[in-house]
Structure 1
Amino acid sequence: MLCAAIGALLTQMEWTLSLPSRYPPLSSILFNMHWHPSAILSLVLCAVIGGHSEACSTTSAPSERVLLADTQAEKSLQPPATESGSTQKVPGIAANPVGTLHVGEHVVPLEIGDALPPHQRGIKLRVGVCDLPPWTIAPTESRPYWSGLGALVWKNTAKNLGIDYTLSVHTFPRLLEAVAKGDIDIAMTGIPIIPENISRFGMTPPFDQSGISIATRVHSALSFASVTERVIAAEITIWLIALLGFAGLFGLMFWLVERKKNPTITGSGLRGFGESMWWSLTTLATVGYGDRVPTTGKGKIIGALWMASGFLLMTIAAAVFTSALTAAQLQPLVKSPTELITSRVGVAIGTTGDTYATRVNIPAVRFATFEQAMTALREEQIDAIVGSSTTLAYLVEQYPGDHITVLPRPLLRDFVSFGTRFGIDPALEKRIELEVVKSAVSAEYSAMRAAMLGRVDAASEQDEKMQTR
């Protein structure tokens, strides 16, 4: 111990002697200091402390304790290993991908652009699907692959991101249950964005709009009451008033220019105007008895203009009347939502139509699929189907001769997207969301939607109420 103290003293003295060059202001104090025993003891302690400080500040030779701490910290970030030496995956915690940072138990993305594409990370997703046209349509003999609007969006997303995935088939209710439990990573079909679904699993941005509509049969209703109802409708009444108005106008002009020189319309003013109106109506009907004809040049010009105008007006009026009678002959069995209470209604289990019927207390027959409900509607087992606007429009478009129609005004409006399980890698989730939006606004998607649905959905009653406020 004494040798160590002497060595430390010599080291400290050497360090002290070198201080004038390092710290000039302290040189006079140190050289004038008397070597008292207490001073020597102080120098020994300073030597020990100073030597330890220099050892800690030296980077060329880190201590064994520091190396051990770093090794343990590095091992703590790795998943535990099994007895065979393989890495054991911790349930509920995804492997740390490149471009993300561990903060506690959560994986926080630094920046989406820094993350490697999924195919470079070896990611394989579990994707679930169900037969729900027009979003996802099951394979057939002529088309041995999944098709539809949702299938197109996922195909482009997986292709652009290089995602490898397995596909499992479910019913629609089972598909929602599987993604909610985490049995699958992605639910690939058009899932309505409603509070019930948002609370159970994650959802991508919407790639299309839909709603809840009524599909019903059309039946022949050509009777005196239905024809009378259509005749007094607004469009027919307007045309009748227009025809009589034009006939009166040309009859008045004919009387004004012919009353003094045409013997067939002479007499009192009222009688002469009546004769002119008779001429105008026979000319409009293209009958032309010949008992009233213009004799003056101005009268002949008026007659020629009225014949041309009358022919055009009668042609348009005939088309309007024919359309009205056709509409009177084919009437929907259910015309409005208020008639659902007294009608036989069908819904597909687990869909928005099922939720709507339950919410408004509509008694309904529940079917496993929309196809089964459509079959029951064609066979007159039910009167109407309440369900997805786009799905019903697609099914009606596929069978145009079945006398089934979708009411033009939907009950509600909503949007659809893919479902994602909670806890999926945030960086990958953001990339998927971006690709979903890009595919939904592409020209390829718009062309396919127009070909499958054939029309643009009308505004719902709820939308019109919001616009009028």
Structure 2
Amino acid sequence: MSRERRYPRHSPTMQPMRQHPAAILSFVLCAILGAHADACQSPDAPTAPIGTLHVGERLAQIEIGDALPPHQRGTKLRAGICDLPPWTMAPTESKPYWSGLGALVWKNTAKNLGIDYTLSVYTYPALLKAVEHGDIDVAVTGIPIIPENISRFGMTPPFDQSGISIATRVRGALTFASVTERIITAEITVWLFALLGFAGLFAILFWLVERKHNPTIDVTSIRALGESIWWSLTTLATVGYGDRVPTTGWGKLIGSIWMALGFLLMTIAAAVFTSVLTAARLQPLVRNSTELIKMRVGVGTGSTGDTYVTRSNIPATRFDTFEDAIAALREQRIDAIVGSSTTLAYLVEQFPGDHITVLPRPLLRDYVSFGTRFGLDSSLEKRIELEIVKTAVSSEYTAMRASMLGQIDAPSATDVPPPNHSARTKPAAP
């Protein structure tokens, strides 16, 4: 069809575009991005919310992502999902719908774009294989953006940050090994040397002023210094046997000073020792990645933690779900779990009294997104990507993330309603 036939000379569509050169650029951008011609409006016409795109030194207005064009509305996609907290969590009796952060993102995306979809349930490794082989169009859960995944299937823009962390038990009781380890730390060692140094100093002062006047102090023998040290230590410990006592005025003054100073030093030392030993009870079994090689480690099958321990040649027990790994950690069948930082933080938050903690410094940092099969319609994919970003930066997502990783029982808006028709569900892969 010729340009004149599609847009007559006095067409209300073409006339404003001739008057506004910027509208021509907007029209071209809409065509490049796959938008339908009906979505491109003149600058003078009422428009839906728009974004901006830098083109050279000018800002061009574009419309994209608020709704599918008419010819793409009602698009039916094959979506896959798995139980992977806090991204996607399977329905329960209290919550008979899919919930989670990733579920919220997909719910808003499908709702805003008018996407119809079937929903198939997989395990996490099977979900990745399904989107890789083209059995599904979109893998709905938090999938780390790592080279291994990028080479297997397409990935949307990230909607959250995660990483690889270590979850481990906290020492519940003091053992001889843990006490010995804490005693030889620098803080306690300094105090021990300080006490012994002051005891030796006052022993020498006592010996100098008492050796010629105190019958219990030998004048010439080296034993006299030993007797003075004995007096100094019994005074420091507030034992006061009375077998060695000062008899001179200077000796009594030195003894008085040492009793007051020794009491102060012992009080501070007792507080330091108590705090250090208490901290020993709160020490995690695993403190860094170098200790993993000698510990019993658990990972989720096919997870980023699995990839990490395989690369690092760390022996590990593999579990079908993170819930199984957490249960093994609670039952002391393993010492640590290597896995997704966000998933571990969420699961640990559910068991606050089980002495399980996630180390504050992650081993690696990464971002999570949805997976898409290669060959998905590019214009549809762009709209899906934009809707994902919109939800990721929304206040609704921020509030839900804070509630899920903080107060677990907060009201949930992250449900994914089932499609309008019966969902096609596959059994979980082994």
Which bracket does the TM-score occupy, shorter chain normalised? 0.5 to 0.7
CA drift at 1:409 = 6.3
CA contact (8 A) 2:101 2:400 kept: no
What one-letter code is carried by the residue in structure 1 that aligns with 2:166?
Answer: S
Alpha-carbon distance in structure 1 between the residues aligned to 2:349 and 2:403: 16
What one-letter code is carried by the residue in structure 2 that aligns with 1:414?
Answer: D
CA drift at 1:193 = 1.3
**SS of the residue aligned with 1:316?**
helix
Q: Is 1:388 equivalent to 2:340 in the alignment?
A: yes
**SS of the residue aligned with 1:282?**
helix
Change (3 A) 1:447 1:317: same
TM-superposition CA deviations, 1:401-433 (whole Å, max 9, x none):
666666676554433233355523435523532
Q: Is 1:96 equivalent to 2:36 in the alignment?
A: yes
CA contact (8 A) 2:299 2:318 kept: yes
What one-letter code is carried by the residue in structure 1 that aligns with 2:63?
Answer: A
Q: Is 1:338 equivalent to 2:293 in the alignment?
A: yes
CA drift at 1:211 = 0.8
What one-letter code is carried by the residue in structure 2 that aligns with 1:205?
Answer: P
| Aligned sequence identity (%) | 48
Alpha-carbon distance in structure 2 between the residues aligned to 1:220 and 1:305: 34
TM-superposition CA deviations, 1:319-354 (whole Å, max 9, x none):
424654x579x95699823236xx6x5533321133
Q: Which residue of 2 aligns with 1:118?
A: 66
2:382 to 408, 418, 426: 426
TM-superposition CA deviations, 1:258-283 (whole Å, max 9, x none):
65998588665977765554444334
What one-letter code is carried by the residue in structure 1 that aligns with 2:300?
Answer: A
**SS of the residue aligned with 2:239?**
coil
Higher relative contact order (CA 8 A, sep 6+): 2
CA contact (8 A) 1:211 1:412 kept: yes
Q: Which residue of 2 aligns with 1:209?
A: 162
Change (3 A) 1:408 1:274: farther
2:308 to 342, 349, 356: 356
**Superposed, which structure 2 residues align to 1:8-23 within 5 Å?**
none
Change (3 A) 1:292 1:409: farther
CA contact (8 A) 2:292 2:314 kept: no
What one-letter code is carried by the residue in structure 2 that aligns with 1:175?
Answer: L
Alpha-carbon distance in structure 2 between the residues aligned to 1:197 and 1:413: 15
Alpha-carbon distance in structure 2 between the residues aligned to 1:131 and 1:262: 85
Residues paired across the two proteins, number: 352
Q: Is 1:308 equivalent to 2:260 in the alignment?
A: no
Change (3 A) 1:425 1:185: same
Q: Which residue of 2 aligns with 1:139?
A: 91
Q: Is 1:287 equivalent to 2:235 in the alignment?
A: no
Change (3 A) 1:332 1:445: closer
What one-letter code is carried by the residue in structure 2 that aligns with 1:285?
Answer: A
Change (3 A) 1:246 1:218: same
Alpha-carbon distance in structure 2 between the residues aligned to 1:392 and 1:280: 54
Alpha-carbon distance in structure 2 between the residues aligned to 1:347 and 1:298: 66
Alpha-carbon distance in structure 1 between the residues aligned to 2:299 and 2:193: 45
Change (3 A) 1:119 1:392: same
Q: Which residue of 1 aligns with 2:142?
A: 190
1:317 to 249, 263, 273: 273
Alpha-carbon distance in structure 1 between the residues aligned to 2:113 and 2:150: 24
CA contact (8 A) 1:393 1:406 kept: yes
Change (3 A) 1:316 1:68: closer
What one-letter code is carried by the residue in structure 1 that aligns with 2:303?
Answer: T
**Superposed, which structure 2 residues align to 1:430-449 within 5 Å?**
430-437=386-393, 442=398, 445-446=401-402, 448-449=404-405
**SS of the residue aligned with 2:299?**
strand
Q: Tell me which structure has the larger Cα radius of gyration.
A: 1
Alpha-carbon distance in structure 1 between the residues aligned to 2:198 and 2:63: 75
CA contact (8 A) 2:349 2:405 kept: no
Q: Is 1:372 equivalent to 2:324 in the alignment?
A: yes
CA drift at 1:133 = 1.8
CA drift at 1:202 = 1.9
Alpha-carbon distance in structure 1 between the residues aligned to 2:236 and 2:114: 73
**SS of the residue aligned with 2:166?**
strand
Quote the RMSD (CA, aligned, Å).
5.1
Change (3 A) 1:431 1:233: same
Alpha-carbon distance in structure 2 between the residues aligned to 1:403 and 1:302: 44
Change (3 A) 1:96 1:198: farther
Alpha-carbon distance in structure 1 between the residues aligned to 2:114 and 2:194: 67
TM-score by length of 1: 0.56
What one-letter code is carried by the residue in structure 2 that aligns with 1:176?
Answer: L
CA contact (8 A) 1:377 1:385 kept: yes
Change (3 A) 1:238 1:440: farther
TM-score by length of 2: 0.60
Q: Which residue of 2 aligns with 1:415?
A: 367
Alpha-carbon distance in structure 2 between the residues aligned to 1:149 and 1:247: 62
Q: Which residue of 1 aligns with 2:24?
A: none
**SS of the residue aligned with 2:143?**
strand
Alpha-carbon distance in structure 2 between the residues aligned to 1:250 and 1:158: 78
Change (3 A) 1:187 1:255: farther
**SS of the residue aligned with 2:88?**
coil
